[in-house]
Structure 1
Amino acid sequence: MSQKTSSCQYIFSDVQQPNLPLIHGKDLSCIFEGTQRVVAVNEVNFGIEEGKITAIIGESGSGKSTLLRLIYGLAEPATGEVRYRGWLVPTRKDKLIPGHDAMKLVSQGFDDLNLYAKVWDNVASQLPNTDLDRKRNKTQEVLAKLRMDHLAQKRVADLSGGEKQRVAICRALINDPEVLLMDEPFNQVDAAFRDDLQQDIQQIVKDTGLTVVLVSHDPAEVLAMADYLIVMKNGLIVDQGNPTELYYHPQNPYTARLLAKSNVLTAEQASKLAIDAKGLIAIHQEAIQFEEASEGKYWVKDSKFRGMFTELIIGNDELTLHAVQFPAKAIKKNTRINILVSSVHHFES
């Protein structure tokens, strides 16, 4: 792995700070000035551990891609700092060619790919010609890891979106970076092949100790592969921690809605379900059961077939809830039901 991890060659006044996570952000902000002033990232603090997959998740416009650019050094902080191994990450004002030497960024597009060159040439071109045997062996090795060796002689222009994404990742990995940054890496990957690519990245992390930071808006992606989540909303980090912990015990209602599509209710709404609450609560869709009852207080307002399960919208004139029915069964609209809730998460006031 690359060892160019000090910023001293770019920021001569910098002093290494010990006992920090691999990547550490402190009071970090990014502001875009224009016809309208936009605070893309607003005084956030975070730590990213080495050898783990960290996912930054949020809705569009939440600031997650800007945070990724700040980590890499492509964006200039308005306040605060980003440190890598205790050293400041140099930015555009410090380096002629921005981007940290120990990191590689794979963006949403494929701007850096030569579409009319072969897959092999796109990847091999990242290595010098000083050692041709190493260049050939290393290219073969990286293509094999990402299951692209059988397409080595195809033009990139003739590949699918998912295959192009794999080529872009191969190009990023061939020089053994310490950190791989990925912005919406699975956007153009067909659902059928998404799991394979996620598993390949997880295996590379396990085999090499690579640190991965990825941006996503899809909870299914990050819950399946991330070791740590950073949840963003309107430029702020509203939650961060272990994915399982955040799924079942979120600190913020936004996290519950984003990760679990939870029903977030006020204390007054909760009381209608005979739930005693002092503030907001979250009820996951899978925590709602129901039974048909001719005199039930609630009814099925709508249903959507989702394959293995059915998504139901249930309630009455005062309350609407979303629930899942597994295994999927046909149920008629307006069927009267009683609602049973198996678990509730209470948010702190």
Structure 2
Amino acid sequence: MSTTSSSCQLVPQDVQQHGLPLIHVQQVSCVFEGKEDVVAVDQVSVGITENSITAIIGASGSGKSTLLKLIYGLIEPTEGEIRYRGWLVPTRKDKLIPGHDAMKMVSQNFDDLNLFAKVWDNVASQLSNIDLEYKQRKTEETLQKLQILHLSQKRVADLSGGERQRVAISRALVNDPEVLLMDEPFNQVDAAFRDALQQDIKQIVADTGLTVLLVSHDPSEVLAMSDQLIVMKDGKIIDDGKPKDLYFKPSNRYTAQLLAKSNILTADEARALGLDTSSSVAIHQEDISLIGDDSAPFQVQEIKFRGMYYEYVVGNEAVSLRAAKIGTPDYVKGDKVQISFERHVVFTS
């Protein structure tokens, strides 16, 4: 009697890969199907190191939030793979409740918070009732770390956006996850309170070994707190490195303008400033100095108050650029000036 082989094949079990960073993203793409397919993430590869703060930045629609959800396992990649500690990250097809067990995500809309419950209950509800003494101690300790213990008996609905954000982070951290994912965490936090929240997060990372991965459309929010920056555009990663390196040595025009609102000059415009180049050039506003000179070829075209500094628009018919000046303006519109600068970046492509 002959036997017929089955057409069904067993899917091989995942095998842990060694020597990878904590989070390893390899050639990942995500395509949303519809009347017209949308490529949200396009052939992305990146590594996230442990006990660090990594920020994914870029304009709206660049794929930042989609990449964050892919890493957490809320979305399944169309192509490629994502590994955590060498193991494939499970997605919706692999488990009933999506999201990696070692990770917690805080959304920008505080979707998980019960607005009409007290702060204490929102956080304590994440712990079991098996050990009530531990539950009490752990909740208090977590609220203290985020400096909201004094709000414990208030309803979340009665809190400010910044206070709600601290409650959401406390709720995520109370079970000691290894990775905290945050989508636009400072969107609803008043500018005056952002620094304090960022410092608290940095301290928690230093104290606990937590790994933080966050998304932001505003680089000024994350330059000071991040160990690594990932710059995305049109679903691709176009820059990746330490904040200081990317700020002073951006590899492309997009990064230069995103991080520093840099002046991007064509080769002709750069030559008008005395630079011998056949490529485009970036010059940061704060690197430009102006010297009054009635015979100078450049003129102050406009002065704009920017809060902490004044922005000069200077130039002539060949070139125009913006310079930053802290303190009282030295010149007025129409003054002739010489332009000098400390550094510039030449782009090869």
2:244 matches 1:271: no
- Output the amino acid matched with 2:222: V
Aligned to 1:3: none
Give, as a single letter, the amino acid of the residue that structure 1 aligns with 2:223.
L
Moved more, 103-112 or 12-21: 12-21
Q: Secondary structure at the match of 1:314?
A: strand
Alignment match, 2:327: 327
TM-score by length of 1: 0.95
Superposition deviation, residue 307 in structure 1:
2.8
Question: Which of structure 1's runs of 4+ aligned residues deviate more than 6 A?
Answer: none
Percent identity, please: 64
- Equivalent position of 1:177 in the other structure: 177
SS at match of 1:296: coil
Residues 332-341 or 23-32, more deviating: 332-341
The alpha carbon displacement at 1:278 in A equals 3.0
Q: Could you tell me whether the CA contact under 8 Å between 1:285 and 1:323 is conserved in 2?
A: yes
Q: Would you say the 8 A contact 1:58–1:64 is kept in 2?
A: yes
Correspondence list, 1:251-262, <5 A: 251-262=251-262
Alignment-derived partner of residue 198 in structure 1? 198
Work out the CA distance in 1 between the residues paired with 2:158 and 2:203: 27
Deviation string, structure 1 residues 281-329 (Cα, Å, up to 9, x no partner): 2111111111222232222222221233111222122322111012342
Separation (CA, whole Å) in 1 of partners of 2:112 and 2:22: 27
Post-superposition offset of 1:331: 3.5
1:12 Cα deviation (Å)?
6.3
Q: Helix, strand or coil for the counterpart of 1:294?
A: coil
Preserved CA contact (<8 Å) 1:120 1:152:
yes
List per-residue Cα deviations over 1:256-301 (Å, max 9, x = no partner).
1111111112222110001012312211111111122223222222
Choose 198-207 or 299-308, whichever is displaced more: 299-308
Residue matched to 2:93: 93
Quick check: 227-236 or 314-323, which moved more?
314-323
Q: Mark the runs of 5 or more structure 1 residues left unpaired by the alignment.
A: 1-10
In the TM superposition, residue 155 of structure 1 has moved relative to its aligned partner by: 0.6
Kindly state the Cα deviation for residue 112 of structure 1 after the two structures are TM-superposed: 1.0
Alignment map for 1:131-150 (pairs within 5 Å): 131-150=131-150
Are the aligned partners of 1:41 and 1:236 in contact in 2 as well (CA < 8 Å)?
Answer: yes
The RMSD of aligned alpha carbons is 1.2
Q: Is the 8 A contact 1:119 1:152 kept in 2?
A: yes
Query: How far apart are the structure 1 equivalents of 2:329 and 2:340?
Result: 18
Per the alignment, in what secondary structure is the counterpart of residue 257 of structure 2?
helix
What's the counterpart of residue 117 of structure 1?
A: 117
Aligned to 2:337: 337
Cα distance in 2 for partners of 1:328, 1:221 equals 26
The size of the alignment, in residue pairs, is: 339
Identify the range of structure 1 (138-147 vs 90-99) with the bigger mean alpha-carbon deviation: 90-99
**Counterparts of 1:112 and 1:308, CA distance in 2:** 37
Q: Hey, what does 1:8 align to over in structure 2?
A: none
Q: Which amino acid aligns with 2:273?
A: L
* Pairwise CA distance, 1:217: 1.2
Change beyond 3 A, Cα 1:169–1:263? same
Amino acid in structure 2 at the alignment position of 1:191: A
Between 1:44-53 and 1:331-340, the stretch displaced more is 331-340
